[in-house]
Chain A
């Protein structure tokens, strides 16, 4: 009667391994997306004008360092990264934090996906 136990243990092992793999893959994917958005899309580029009176999608994209057609996920991640750097709690400027929040809203409402 050892066979059912062995079979059961094998199935359990397979199940646990699958669960583990799924989690690892999800985490890696999330991290990869984080890196993908943060590394290549950001370039040091000086924009001569100050902020416009009314924020346009183009300006919002510039603030976040993204293209206007970026996905919601990219916008979200980029917003978080910039807030970490610019939040008033961390010595950042309230004004800049305001602009980052607004940029996220403008771009998110423009892109539906």
Chain B
């Protein structure tokens, strides 16, 4: 146990002054893309000239659903295609995986999520929440990496070249584990993550870019899975966050679930059938709920029509229901109310009143809901600003930040804050803060602690993050032990603990015994749930999968080629049947059948070999046949000419008689 030495601290002019070395990033050569990795949808943007541009994916959408699916033949699909097949393949389709990234399996939020989704959530090898799909274990970082890879491909297709560097956004209220896990996802996807920035800050960047007037803005960010509120001051190109707060488990997915529950309850009341027993029916209802939610933002009433939703004793049963906006608002009123608390706390932390806020910016798809807009208006006593696209602002801001890091964009600086207090556990289980919440980052803090028992030779240091006074009520980030303390009475050793938060909001902890002078030092990089070995293994598997994908593509192309060749050869056989000998015809037909047989197999090389064989065989035969046909045609033509000559001769004879 450690005891605070603040009271015993002696100011000494001779105290050793530490000088830390910070390595700056190497120069970025390529384009830096900004990626908004959202719970429900993701978006990618890039700076082109002086403007940030959102890039469209292969399906033509400016946002891509954050959905990953594993099909019957073990193929992996991402985005809109994955979302489309969710109804028939719900157990093997992962969505809203951002809610579990960096979370422990025994986290209460994980328990809550398990009841809300059709896929399986299991305990990972390190105690984190992982997914199990077709008997295979997948970490949330890996699932996130698949989405990021899709965004990377989207960027590469649009920009016409390889993309390596990226700025990825996370919710402002993400803790250290969640940030680290998100960064790991970028690494697995083959991206060099230059920066992790907060979503509300990115949105403010998109809003305040090229605006000169000093402003204090509140960013109200209610997305698919998380809620963030940040208050920033924008002065002369400095975007400084004054305070931030939020809820990492509140968003559009919860609204969908509220509607889904309502639908199931109403249907059961009316028809006596429990649709939750049927996975496909539940999934269809979920889709309908999301669609209804979106429609009710622009209409006052909507109708849900799902024929053949289930089968009853008297035949098929259909789902048909009308839903009004007021009913929907009633169902989700408690969810919307939950956003008020963080807003008030944020205002208090920033030391501002609502009258000092110049602008309220709405970000995230859920802010399109009229009730949400009303609440934001009443909370801040201000009409919200609607000039920012809620779906794209975050990616645009990340792209601008990418431009800043590359050096192309001048005059902009982000000064963000750490959302939660950081500290260690001391005697009696008390949480002792070293860095308070809403401290500007980068930040560093050193404090001195001591032993709690005589002759103690080691101290265990537990790093926590949160706002509760007892350590166990907060989130444990890391735990390590400092060994080799000389045996001294309690309270005498001086253990210096340093917390360093970098500009990505990620923490590094150093503990050192000052007395021994031999720098007994432990430096720990907090784990986001995946160790370096895990990441290396996943990358290797990813390369293997890439190989499998390449082979599959070759097979498909070989099959297409084979079918084309077979069709052409059969057509030629019909055309040349009069000029080929019987043995030749039989031989060609045999070769065609061989190609047909091999098309059914999984061997692209074998298909290519058979195609080549058939091609070699038919080349000489058809060449001969073609010549024969040509000769025959020439012969007929010659006969015609002879006939004409004969006519001419007759005429000549007639002339002589005259």
CB closest residue in chain B, given A90: B413
Q: A89 with B503: in contact, given A53-B446, A84-B413 (CB under 8 Å)? A: yes
> With A and B bound together, what is the CA distance between A97 and B415 in angstroms?
10
How distant is B453 from chain A, measured CB to nearest CB, in Å?
Answer: 26
Chain A residues, CB < 8 A from B237: 84
> With A and B bound together, what is the CA distance between A54 and B572 in angstroms?
90
B404 engages A91 (CB within 8 Å): no
Interface size class of B (residues with CB under 8 A): 20 to 34
> With A and B bound together, what is the CA distance between A101 and B500 in angstroms?
13
- The stretch among B13-21, B371-379, B620-628 that forms the contact with chain A is B13-21
How distant is A87 from chain B, measured CB to nearest CB, in Å?
Answer: 5
Q: A91 with B24: in contact, given A80-B236, A83-B413, A105-B440 (CB under 8 Å)? A: yes
Chain A residues, CB < 8 A from B401: 89
Chain A residues, CB < 8 A from B20: 95
Q: B30 on the interface (CB 8 Å rule)? A: no
Q: A89 with B442: in contact, given A80-B236, A83-B238, A95-B20 (CB under 8 Å)? A: no
Query: Which residues of A in the span 75-98 have a Cβ within 8 Å of any Cβ on B?
Result: 77, 80, 83-84, 87-91, 93-95, 97-98
> With A and B bound together, what is the CA distance between A102 and B18 in angstroms?
16
CB closest residue in chain A, given B195: A89
How distant is B108 from chain A, measured CB to nearest CB, in Å?
Answer: 33
Q: A51 with B17: in contact, given A80-B238, A87-B415, A89-B404 (CB under 8 Å)? A: yes
Q: B444 on the interface (CB 8 Å rule)? A: yes
Judged by DSSP, the binding face of A is helix
How distant is B21 from chain A, measured CB to nearest CB, in Å?
Answer: 8
Cβ-Cβ contact count across A and B, 8 Å cutoff? 76
Residues of A within 8 A of B (CB): 30, 34, 49-54, 77, 80, 83-84, 87-91, 93-95, 97-98, 101-102, 104-105
Q: List 12 A-B contacts (CB under 8 A).
A: A53-B15, A53-B446, A54-B9, A54-B446, A87-B503, A88-B24, A89-B401, A89-B405, A89-B503, A94-B442, A101-B443, A105-B439
> With A and B bound together, what is the CA distance between A104 and B444 in angstroms?
13
Chain B residues, CB < 8 A from A94: 22, 24, 442, 502-503
Q: B133 on the interface (CB 8 Å rule)? A: no
Q: A80 with B235: in contact, given A88-B24, A89-B405, A98-B442 (CB under 8 Å)? A: yes
B440 engages A88 (CB within 8 Å): no
Having A54-B9, A102-B444, A105-B440, one finds 12 other A-B pairs with CB under 8 Å, namely A53-B16, A53-B446, A80-B236, A80-B240, A87-B415, A89-B413, A94-B442, A95-B20, A97-B503, A98-B500, A101-B440, A102-B445
How distant is A110 from chain B, measured CB to nearest CB, in Å?
Answer: 15
> With A and B bound together, what is the CA distance between A84 and B442 in angstroms?
14
B22 engages A95 (CB within 8 Å): yes
Q: B122 on the interface (CB 8 Å rule)? A: no
Chain B residues, CB < 8 A from A90: 404, 413
CB closest residue in chain A, given B417: A101
Q: B214 on the interface (CB 8 Å rule)? A: yes
Q: B441 on the interface (CB 8 Å rule)? A: yes
Chain B residues, CB < 8 A from A95: 20, 22, 444
Chain A residues, CB < 8 A from B238: 80, 83-84
Q: B461 on the interface (CB 8 Å rule)? A: no
> With A and B bound together, what is the CA distance between A49 and B439 in angstroms?
26
Q: B306 on the interface (CB 8 Å rule)? A: no
Choice from A49, A50, A104 contacting B440 with Cβ under 8 Å: A104
Mark each residue of chain B from 221 to 236: 1 if its CB lies under 8 Å from any CB of chain A, else 0: 0000000000000011
